[in-house]
Amino acid sequence: MLSQRSLEAFREVMRTGTVSGAAEELLISQPAVSRLIRELEERSGLHLFTRHGGRVVATPEAHEFWLEVERSFTGLKQIERAADQIKRGQRTTLSIAAAPAFAHTALPQAVAQLHAERPEFRAEFFAMTTLPVVRQVALRQCQIGFGIPTQHKFEIDVVRTGALPYRFIAPAGHPLGEKEIISFNDLSGVDFVSFVDSTMTGRLFDRRFAKMRRPPLVKIRAYLSIVISALVLRGLGVALIDPFTAEDHVRLGGISRPFEAEERFEYSIIKPLGERLGAECVALVEHFEALADAHRA
């Protein structure tokens, strides 16, 4: 079995670049560091360093091994931090993974409402695309996830699914702002900021535009709804986005109108397979659904 002390010696040699530097960091002698490195090489079967004059040079094996050692020490630091947080009553109670469309809009509002009800509530918030959201939840790194519907249902449990109407957005003063409801026909020949075709929304509207006699002019594409909103605010076209981001778009000075279409912005709330939702998770879902219901109405 590899000893913790020999791994510490190896880590410090890699970090400082010298045996003497490692000895200073570990408060031991240079011969002791060298002995620990030899012990690690014998037990691991790896050739970690070569000597050139008075210097030690890490081998390719050492660099690969260092990545694993660093992950191990990072894990230990997280455990130590968790212990300290628990001791001080500051342990995070809820880990949330969310796609950007939710992480930048509705979820902060839902979290704020939950915190107002439960001042002791604490959380970790991770914004990422839907596939990493699924992965984080499946690996139990996060207790709950918010994203678009996924096919990876064998890895997670679906708590809730829903669909919301898309919203039309435009910069302030755009001629279409005079209409109360926007339709596909209104978009004919109009400069349009679209989602990239690797997104579900991008593919959805690309298929619909392909059926139009005169589709909108897609000049710019982006991956994130907040980026699309920013581009629209700067006069680069109009767009169709989720209602949460559209709400923020209006607060930033743009305009938003209902969009008449069968297409819907679909979402999914997930949890680790077989896990039971805690009280905080249940309350968070309720607050989020209340915000979603307001847009459905």
What's the pLDDT at 246? Answer: 96
Identify the domain containing residue 70 by its residue range. Answer: 4-87
What's the pLDDT at 213? Answer: 94
Domain C-terminal end among 40, 62, 87: 87
Percentages of the chain per state (helix, strand, coil), in multiples of 5: 50, 20, 30
Whether 116 and 137 share a structural domain: yes
Whether 54 and 99 share a structural domain: no
Whether 150 and 216 share a structural domain: no
What's the pLDDT at 87? Answer: 64
Whether 230 and 283 share a structural domain: no
CATH of the domain at 22: 1.10.10.10
Whether 228 and 143 share a structural domain: no
Q: What pairing do the DSSP bridges indicate for beta strands 239-241 and 167-170? A: antiparallel
pTM of the model: 0.67
User: Which residue, among 175, 166, 212, 168, has the nearest Cα to 192 in the 3D structure?
Assistant: 168
What's the pLDDT at 129? Answer: 81
User: What stretches of the chain show up as alpha helix (H) in DSSP?
Assistant: 4-16, 19-26, 30-44, 60-87, 100-103, 106-117, 130-138, 200-210, 225-233, 243-251, 279-296
Whether 143 and 288 share a structural domain: yes
229, exposed or middle or buried, with CB in 10 Å at 0-12, 13-18, 19+?
buried
How many domains in the chain?
Answer: 3
Whether 249 and 202 share a structural domain: yes
The pLDDT tens digits along the chain (297 residues) read 888 889 889 988 888 888 888 888 889 999 999 999 999 899 889 898 988 766 888 888 888 888 888 878 777 777 777 676 656 655 457 899 999 999 999 999 999 999 898 887 888 889 888 788 998 999 888 999 999 887 766 789 999 999 999 999 999 999 999 999 999 999 999 999 999 988 889 999 999 999 999 999 998 999 999 999 999 999 999 999 999 999 999 999 999 999 999 999 999 999 999 988 888 899 999 999 999 999 887
Whether 213 and 130 share a structural domain: no
